Amino acid sequence: MSTPERSFLQSERKRLLNCLRGEILEIGSGTGVNFPFYQSECNVTALEPSAELAGKASEKFFQNNDSIKAKINIVQAGLGESPWDDSHKNASYDAIVCTLVLCTIPEPQTALSLFKKWLKPNGSLIILEHVQAKNPIAQISQYILNPVWNTLAGGCNLHRPTAQYIREAGFKPVELRELQFVLPFISAVYSV
């Protein structure tokens, strides 16, 4: 990741995550890049399907424990995997966080319907994702590049209409920013 891209994403992560409080579910926490942005009033369940990435997140958490304020529980599991799903309760989270993960989840529409069940009635879905371009020429480029990108980037899909999937799942935008940095992004807070 280039320095400008890292800086761009870091400022958006901070803006979205700094104000969260309560029970938080982070989907696809990866190496724990979001951990420093959660405040002490957060209890974060960080769900990561990759054992390797969950291990790196644990290392980061223990090595940087002084800079991480929130209570974080790293769970190595994916959506739809037992025993995590079996022990899960509906309407138990104040916020669900997805940063650069809905492009990779095999069935994003199914995931979004689960998120709706798992959020408390006044809960928030926090999104920082690259999305399908609105410009038809840019869309064609995304479709052409996607097979190679998908292979090189661990299953990431450049051309997913993520914003459309979120709307179709019934989430309402509270704050929605459309950003452009090489790819189009959305940085958003949605309500149930």
- pLDDT tens-digit map of 42-100: 999 999 988 898 888 888 777 767 778 899 999 988 887 655 555 567 889 999 999 99
Q: Are 94 and 120 in contact (CB under 8 A)?
A: yes
Average pLDDT over all residues of the chain: 90
For domain 3-191, give the CATH superfamily: Vaccinia Virus protein VP39 (3.40.50.150)
What does the pLDDT read at residue 85? 59
Q: Which residues contact 78 (CB under 8 A, 6 or more apart)?
A: 47, 49
pLDDT band at 155 (very low <50, low <70, confident <90, very high): very high
Tens digits of residue pLDDT in 105-137: 999 999 999 999 999 999 999 999 999 999 999
Per-residue pLDDT, 94: 97
Q: Phi and psi for 103 in degrees, rounded to 5?
A: -70, -15
Domain ranges of the chain: 3-191
pLDDT, residue 18, reads: 95
Taking the complete model, does pTM exceed 0.85, yes or no?
Answer: yes
Vertex 22: Cα angle to 36 and 14 (nearest 5): 30
Q: By percentage, how much of the chain surpasses pLDDT 90?
A: 71
What is the pLDDT at residue 3?
A: 62
* pLDDT at residue number 61: 75
Measured CA to CA, the distance from residue 9 to residue 128 in angstroms comes to: 8
Q: Are 97 and 27 in contact (CB under 8 A)?
A: yes
Residue-level length of the chain: 192
